[in-house]
Structure 1
Amino acid sequence: MSEQERTLGIVGLGSIGGNLARQAVRKDIDVVGFDVKERPELEDLGVDVHEAGDYEEVGELDAPRVVYLSLPAGELIDSEIDGLLDHLEEGDVIMDGGNSFWRDSMRREEACWEEGVYFLDTGTSGGPPRAAEGACFMVGGREEGFAIAEPYLDALSVEDGLIHVGPPGSGHFTKLVHNGIEFGMLQAIAEGVELLMAGQFDMEDTLPDLFETWNNGAVIESWLVELMGKGLRQEDQQSDAPDDFTDIPNYIEDTGEVNWLVQEAFKGETPIPVITQSVMELFKSRGNQRHAYRAVALMRHGFGLHPFGEDEYFANERVTGRVENVSRNKLRNDESTMDTVHSTRTGEYPADPDEDWPDHTT
C-alpha cells in the first residue's frame, strides 16, 4: 500500500468500527473516523475523530478515497451515503460493512454508480474480537472498486479471510447465508447442552472441560464450541455477564436478518429446515405465543380427554412408559409375543379392574 493510499475513512466507531480503527492504526493506516459520540479512547490512539455527518473531512482524503460504513442496517445507511456522495468524487469507494439486506445493497450500488462512486457490500464476520485482530470479509461489487479497497481489507483481515464473491449484492447475501448457518450451529450446540444437563449423569461441573475437549480435535471443533466452554468457565466475559449459567435470561434477542433468509427460501421453495427451525426456537424464547399452547391443550382434551395443565399420572407415565430395551429384545427373540403385539395395535390394553386408565389410543 503506497503512502497515498494509507488513509481510511470509517463511519461508525462502535464495537466493530472502533476495533477496525484500532487495528488499522496499529498497522500504520491513518483513520479518519465519524461517530455520534465522542471517542477519546480512539483519539488517544491516533484516530482523527469527527462528528457524524461532518463529511467535509472526507473530501480532504487522498483520492481514490475509501470509506467503510459500520452502521445498523436500514434507512440510516441511505442517509449517510447521501451525505458522503456530496464530498466524494468519481473513482472513490464506499463500503457497507453492516448486515444490510442484499437487495438494498444492489439499489445503493446503482445510486452510487450514477455518481461514478463504487459501492461494495462488505459482509463482515468475526464480531468485535476479530475486528480488533483480523476480521473476515466477503465482498460484492464491481471488480474495479474491489481492487481499490482490497489493500485496506487485506490488511484488516485474518489470513485467507478476504474474498470478492461477485457482483453487487453478493457480499451481503453470502454474509446472510453465513448468519443462517451460524443460527443452526448455535441451536445444535444449545440442544446438546440441554441434553447434557437433562441426562442421567451429573454433568454441570464437567461441561466446561467437556467443551474444551471437544474443541481439541473433535469433529465439532469450532470457535462457537470454544466460546461455549469459555462462557461456562467465565473466561473473557464482559462485565455485564451473569455470574452463573442459570442466571442468564432465557430470552434471545437478534436484529432479524436471518428472517430475511427464511423468507427468501420460502419464495424460492428452497428447503432450509435447520435454519428455519433455529429462527422459530429464537422466537419461542421470547414467550410470544400466549394462546397456541392453550389451543393445543383444548384440542387434545377434545379428542382424547387429555388433562389441562400438569397431571401426576401423565408425568409418571412419561418416566415409566418405556421399559428400556426389554420389549425390543423380547419381540426379536420370542415369537409368542406376536399375539401381544396384535392386541396392542388394535387398542386392546390390559386394564386394572380397580382403576380407570386414560384412553391413549387417539
Structure 2
Amino acid sequence: MAVGKIGMVGLGRMGGNMARRLQRDGAEVVAYNRHIEKAQELAQETGIQAAGTLQELVEKLPAPRVVWLMLPAGAPTAEHIHEILPLLATGDILVNGANAFYGESMTQAKEVEAHGVEYVDAGVSGGVWGLQEGYALMVGGKPEAVAKVEPFLKILAPGPDKGWLHCGPVGSGHFVKMVHNGIEYGMMQALAEGFAILQGKTEFDLDLAAVAEMWRYGSVVRSWLLDLTAATLHKDQVLADIAPIVADSGEGLWTAQAALQQKVPAPVITLALQMRWASQGKDDYAAKLLAMMRNQFGGHAVVQEAK
C-alpha cells in the first residue's frame, strides 16, 4: 500500500539504502543525486523515479512536498538548501538528515521557515545495516511538520512503533543524535581496550572470537557493537593489515563541548574522543617531548624514529 511520495536528495551509502527501503516498503521515491548516474542506476534497480535536477524532483512531488536531504553536514547541505528553497512552496517540508550540529540546524530552520517551508532535523543511525535492520531516527520540528513525515519514518525505522522518536522542537533531533554518537565513542573504546587486554595475555592463548561470541549471550555487555566485534574477530584476530588510525566525524567533540557548557562530567566520552585524536598522530609531539624529559632527568634511553 502506497503511503505517498517523498523526494530523496543524496544517494550515498545512507541515502541510497534509505531510498531502497522506502521504495521497497510502500513509499514512492523521487531521487536526485548531483551525479545523475547514481539516481539512474537506482531507478533501474528499484523502480524509483530519477530526477535530473532539483527542479524536476520538486515538479514530480505532490503538495505538500516532503524532501529529505541525506547529504554531508556543512557546506554540501547548506548549498542544496539554498538551491532548492526557492523551488518549494508554503507548507512543504524539508528534512535535514545530515550528521549536523544542532545549533546549525536551528539557524537553518529560521531561514527555511522564513520562506513558509517547514524544517525537520533528523538524526539517523543505522549505517550500512539500515536497509536490512531499519534506522534509528531522532527528529525535531513542529508537530504538524513531523506528522507529515511520520509515514516515511515508520517505514525507515525498525518498526512502525519503535526505533523513531519526535524528540521535540527543531534542533532536538540532531542534539539527541549527537549525544548518541558520543555514547557510541565511549562504548567502542571500552570494547577495544578490553579486547586489547585479553589479546595481551599471551600465556593464556585466548580465542578472542570465542570470548566475544560467548559474551553475546546473557552477558551484561551484550550489544550490537559486541555483535560486530565478534564478527570482525571471527574473520581476523590479528588485524595486521589494519592501520591503528580511527577517524572522528565531529559528534564526539560536540558532545564533549555540550558537557563542558552544562558542567556535566563526561570523562568517558571525552577521553574516547581524545583517544581517536591520539590514533591520528596528534599526540606524537607530546610523546616525543615526554621521552626527552625522561632522558633529561633520569638518563633513560630515547628510541630513535626509523627513517
TM-score (norm 2): 0.91
Moved more, 92-101 or 282-291: 282-291
- 1:13 Cα shift? 0.7
Instruction: Name 2:12's counterpart in structure 1.
Output: 14
Q: Which whole-Å CA distance do the structure 2 matches of 1:88 and 1:209 have between them?
A: 55
- 1:48 Cα shift? 1.3
Q: How many residues align?
A: 298
| Cα distance per residue 1:289-338 (max 9 Å; x no partner) | 332122223333444x150336xxxxxxxxxxxxxxxxxxxxxxxxxxxx
- SS where residue 230 of structure 2 aligns? helix
Instruction: Name 2:63's counterpart in structure 1.
Output: 63
- 1:111 Cα shift? 1.0
Instruction: Name 1:101's counterpart in structure 2.
Output: 101
Determine if the alignment matches structure 1 residue 150 to structure 2 residue 150: yes
1:145-224 map, 5 Å: 145-159=145-159, 160-203=162-205, 206-224=207-225
1:271-350 map, 5 Å: 271-303=265-297, 305-309=298-302
Is the alpha carbon distance of 1:69 and 1:301 closer, same or farther for their aligned partners in structure 2, counting shifts above 3 Å? Answer: same
Q: Which whole-Å CA distance do the structure 1 matches of 2:244 and 2:213 have between them?
A: 24
Contact 1:59 1:88 in 2 (8 A): no
Contact 1:55 1:83 in 2 (8 A): no
- 1:275 Cα shift? 0.5
- 1:77 Cα shift? 1.2
Determine if the alignment matches structure 1 residue 254 to structure 2 residue 248: yes
Q: Which whole-Å CA distance do the structure 1 matches of 2:284 and 2:11 have between them?
A: 40
User: Equivalent pairs: percent with the same residue?
Assistant: 38
Q: Which whole-Å CA distance do the structure 2 matches of 1:6 and 1:144 have between them?
A: 17
Q: Which whole-Å CA distance do the structure 2 matches of 1:243 and 1:274 have between them?
A: 26
Instruction: Name 1:337's counterpart in structure 2.
Output: none
1:106-145 map, 5 Å: 106-145=106-145
- 1:132 Cα shift? 4.4
| Cα distance per residue 1:181-203 (max 9 Å; x no partner) | 00000000000111000014444
- SS where residue 158 of structure 2 aligns? strand
Q: Which whole-Å CA distance do the structure 2 matches of 1:30 and 1:104 have between them?
A: 30
- 1:279 Cα shift? 0.8
Instruction: Name 1:338's counterpart in structure 2.
Output: none
Q: Which whole-Å CA distance do the structure 1 matches of 2:11 and 2:132 have between them?
A: 12
Q: Which whole-Å CA distance do the structure 2 matches of 1:68 and 1:57 have between them?
A: 11
Contact 2:7 2:57 in 1 (8 A): no
Q: Which whole-Å CA distance do the structure 2 matches of 1:214 and 1:117 have between them?
A: 49
Q: Which whole-Å CA distance do the structure 2 matches of 1:172 and 1:203 have between them?
A: 44
Instruction: Name 1:74's counterpart in structure 2.
Output: 74
Equivalent AA in structure 1 for residue 19 of structure 2: A
Is the alpha carbon distance of 1:277 and 1:166 closer, same or farther for their aligned partners in structure 2, counting shifts above 3 Å? Answer: same
Determine which structure has the larger helix proportion and give its number: 2
Equivalent AA in structure 2 for residue 266 of structure 1: L
Determine if the alignment matches structure 1 residue 229 to structure 2 residue 230: yes
- SS where residue 220 of structure 2 aligns? coil
Give RMSD over aligned pairs.
1.9
Q: Which whole-Å CA distance do the structure 2 matches of 1:124 and 1:161 have between them?
A: 10
Equivalent AA in structure 2 for residue 162 of structure 1: W
- Higher relative contact order at CA 8 Å, sep ≥6: structure 1 or structure 2? 2
Q: Which whole-Å CA distance do the structure 1 matches of 2:285 and 2:14 have between them?
A: 40
Contact 1:8 1:31 in 2 (8 A): yes
- 1:17 Cα shift? 0.7
Instruction: Name 2:83's counterpart in structure 1.
Output: 83
Q: Which whole-Å CA distance do the structure 2 matches of 1:295 and 1:243 have between them?
A: 33
Contact 1:196 1:203 in 2 (8 A): no
Q: Which whole-Å CA distance do the structure 1 matches of 2:47 and 2:73 have between them?
A: 28
Instruction: Name 1:268's counterpart in structure 2.
Output: 262
Q: Which whole-Å CA distance do the structure 1 matches of 2:299 and 2:254 have between them?
A: 38
- 1:283 Cα shift? 0.8
- 1:128 Cα shift? 1.9
- 1:229 Cα shift? 0.6
Is the alpha carbon distance of 1:249 and 1:68 closer, same or farther for their aligned partners in structure 2, counting shifts above 3 Å? Answer: same
Instruction: Name 2:50's counterpart in structure 1.
Output: 49
Is the alpha carbon distance of 1:183 and 1:58 closer, same or farther for their aligned partners in structure 2, counting shifts above 3 Å? Answer: same
TM-score (norm 1): 0.78
Structure 2, unaligned runs of 5 or more: none
Q: Which whole-Å CA distance do the structure 1 matches of 2:222 and 2:124 have between them?
A: 22
